[in-house]
Structure 1
Amino acid sequence: MSDCGCDAVTDCLKPLEEALTLLLSHAKAVGETETVSLAEANGRVLAESVVSQINMPPWDNSAMDGYAVNTADVPAVGTKLVVSQRIPAGAAPIPLAAGTAARIFTGAPVPPNANAVVIQEVCEQAGESVIISEVVAPGANIRLAGEDTQIGQEVLQTGTRLGAQHIGLAASVGVGELKVYRRLKVALFSSGDELINPGQPLGPGQIYNSNEYTMQALLQALGCELVSLGIVEDTFDATCAALTSAAAQADLVMTSGGVSVGEEDHLKPAVEKLGSLDMWKIAIRPGKPLAFGHIQGTPFIGTPGNPVSLFVTFLLFARPFILKSQGVNEAMVVPTPLLAKADFDWPKAEKRREFARAQLNLDDQGQAQISLFSSRSSGVLNSLTWANGLAILPEQQTLARGEMVQFLPFSELLK
């Protein structure tokens, strides 16, 4: 046992929940706001709640194509009524004359004196009249004014990350502009003398810098403004200079690689010199060496250099941190896992919680099942294109085929 009470294998790794709580406690929403049109609002975070100034629908309207009637005029099947008016959507009807019906279409205002709509499928035209083959109750097939939204009702809350449904709702109550938080500015760079950008020929010992482009895409999907410092030389001085420059330009500094304990891994000592390192190792696989701290007051997240580890730690930790920093309500920054049966055995209990690349599919009986990628290596980037999510395999547990497993779909994590 070590002095911190952990054994040599776990090496005082921080549990996932504790690590995430620590990160989120340091995530502060940007204070500045701007007003944007609905066309520019997708993906932005609402900084001021939206209150409806109208009822929706604004008036009683027909839910179906048919005939508007007063139910007192339809006492029995086979009642015949003169059609006194025709009401398409967008028309302004006149009061319904007693003993008549009005031809009406979906969405059209129900005329005064009418209290029901009879669907056209149970009606038969007879010259200037209609024969009604069904007795209906008052209120049938009518959408009442204010049924969806009422004047003064809060329809969108501050902290909502806006999607098509939110923008459509704002438009439906007549709001043309929304106050949103400004975009989070993130500065990023990669560490490694072996790295070279795609499009150039590889030299001896070189690899392409996939991490830079993976992280850029992940940040762009979250609506961040990017400041890219490219590839930084593997020296302590160069790392310090890059961190200082990044912290001065952005709300958050992110890096890939250089957070382990090798002689050429300079990020950890550089962050400690320039500010503080609040977290370093987490009890998960892949992605143990995740660094979090501050550089001259600017938050810093250092992801591992292995591409799968970068991807997984970004989704589990950086994404919630960024969402909260953008102003999203904290309760909405971590997705709820799905449950499905395992199409595999997990016979060895591991010390760290595993986030395995996995596919969620339907078996022959139409039930959801989870299959794992064939390799656990954190360097196999094509495993992420094969997978459609991450299976959560708890620490200190075994699993047998058919048992229920938690699953985080990429469809929830990559937006």
Structure 2
Amino acid sequence: MRTVEEHRAAVAALLPPLGEEEVPLAEAHGRVLARDVAAAVALPGFDNSAMDGYAARWTEVSRTPVTLPVADDIPAGRTDVVPLAPGTVQRIMTGAPLPPGADVVVPVELTDGGTDVVEIRDAPPAGSHLRAAGEDIAEGTVALEAGSPLGATQLGLAAAVGVTVLPVRRRPQVLVLSTGSELVAPGQPLLPGQIYESNSRLLVAAVEEAGGVARRLHFVPDDVEQFLTTVRAEVASADLLITSGGVSAGAYEVVKDAFRELGTVEFVKVPMQPGGPQGAGTVDGVPVVTLPGNPVSAFVSFEVFVRPALRRAMGHASPDRLHVPARLTGPLRSPAGRRQFLRGRFDGGQVSQVGGPGSHLVAHLARANCLVVVPQDVTELSAGAEVDVVLIEGALQ
């Protein structure tokens, strides 16, 4: 028997930090930053206007109404801005450089909009509608921190501060293999006792959502020799092998039988539901994690053990899913001695259970957007009780 936390640590220990590589900005989406990146330029790079209006000296416009000549036009992108002459204003556009001498921008809405001479009917306080050079970020300071996932806003910032290449962690190469003589490829005719193979599709997508690169191996029947031949022909190219099925206590458990012969994979029971039987170790020096075969068990096991280990190896500063408290919309029961990961639907601080606890209920899993965590010493919760909810990214509406 191994606790959830102990098995999480065992799986994490199999995956050391992945190497670093540099990629162009255009190829960095979804990657994880390996090192801090400094701003090559300040943001803003120069004092500029936050409004369309008139650059002025506040002392000359503070007593309104006042009429002043418009000495110049400053559109965004102009590079030859001249100082503001006393007793004049300059018409200025949002983002345009502020002329030396100006200390306020009067919005066009407070004027008559004149182009040669303008009447200023009201004036904001001194310093209004100005963006100071470097007020967002100073040149040379850290713009993006190591461990940051590179999404739209991070890539936008990188481009804004003049970065063209980013240091990122290498994406893990993951092999996914399902086992079971009952499995048939989707689309093929089913005989009595057969089912369509779905775990590999589920797990490949889960690996990719976590940031890895996944490849399906053709699922194999419950044959130890064929299983080992398939694994050893491919495993050297991977950072991790994930198997599903063949790890329970019954007969024909091909994964357990095959890897026990090698003596490098440890099989344990974890007090959780779904996903009790687990395994972790190495095959020919390559990390392997063995998951149960029921689809919900495979998914929950991946979420609890594999996903955080992959993301930690990729350098994520926050490898775990977001946990939030929520109130149950209805009562629930849970067997003693096992930590439950129930499918749920989270909305507005409340969570409702989706379907029963059965590990075969794939349709209910597809409708869930979170996992409701029930501690193993809790057997009953009433409606309104607060529970820990794990938000499943990508499933939220």
Q: Do the structures match in fold with TM over 0.5?
A: yes
2:267–2:277 contact (8 Å) kept in structure 1:
no
Please name the residue that 1:354 is paired with. 340
Which letter maps to 1:293? G
Distance in 2 of aligned mates of 1:287 and 1:161: 29
Shift, 1:413, TM fit:
8.0
Shift, 1:396, TM fit:
1.5
Unaligned runs of 5+ in 2: none
CA change 1:114–1:279 in 2 (3 A) is: farther
- Is 1:62 matched up with 2:20? no
- Aligned residue runs from structure 1 range 238-317, under 5 A: 238-278=226-266, 280-317=268-305
Shift, 1:347, TM fit:
4.6
CA change 1:136–1:205 in 2 (3 A) is: same
120-129 vs 245-254, greater mean Cα deviation: 120-129
- Aligned residue runs from structure 1 range 78-93, under 5 A: 78-92=65-79, 93=81
Please name the residue that 1:38 is paired with. 25
Please name the residue that 1:210 is paired with. 198
Deviations 1:249-289 (A, max 9, x none): 21101111111111111222422332523452222211111
Distance in 1 of aligned mates of 2:130 and 2:263: 64
SS of structure 2 residue aligned to 1:169: helix
SS of structure 2 residue aligned to 1:178: strand
Distance in 2 of aligned mates of 1:25 and 1:118: 61
Shift, 1:21, TM fit:
2.6
CA change 1:59–1:212 in 2 (3 A) is: same
- Aligned residue runs from structure 1 range 14-413, under 5 A: 14-31=2-19, 33-92=20-79, 93-126=81-114, 128-278=116-266, 280-329=268-317, 332-348=318-334, 350-362=336-348, 368-397=349-378, 398-411=380-393
CA change 1:371–1:300 in 2 (3 A) is: same
1:275–1:295 contact (8 Å) kept in structure 2:
no
Q: Report sequence identity in percent.
A: 38
CA change 1:99–1:174 in 2 (3 A) is: same
Which letter maps to 2:372? A
Which letter maps to 1:319? R
Shift, 1:197, TM fit:
0.7
14-23 vs 383-392, greater mean Cα deviation: 14-23
2:174–2:212 contact (8 Å) kept in structure 1:
yes
CA change 1:263–1:127 in 2 (3 A) is: closer
Unaligned runs of 5+ in 1: 1-11, 363-367
CA change 1:335–1:228 in 2 (3 A) is: closer
Which letter maps to 1:336? L
Could you state the TM-score of these two structures normalised by the residue count of structure 1?
A: 0.89
Distance in 2 of aligned mates of 1:80 and 1:350: 81
Aligned-CA RMSD value: 2.0
Aligned pair count reads 394
Please name the residue that 1:4 is paired with. none
Deviations 1:329-348 (A, max 9, x none): 3xx10123112211011255
151-160 vs 234-243, greater mean Cα deviation: 234-243
CA change 1:279–1:49 in 2 (3 A) is: farther
Distance in 2 of aligned mates of 1:108 and 1:291: 62
Deviations 1:60-81 (A, max 9, x none): 1111222211112123232322
SS of structure 1 residue aligned to 2:381: coil
Distance in 2 of aligned mates of 1:348 and 1:181: 40
SS of structure 2 residue aligned to 1:46: coil
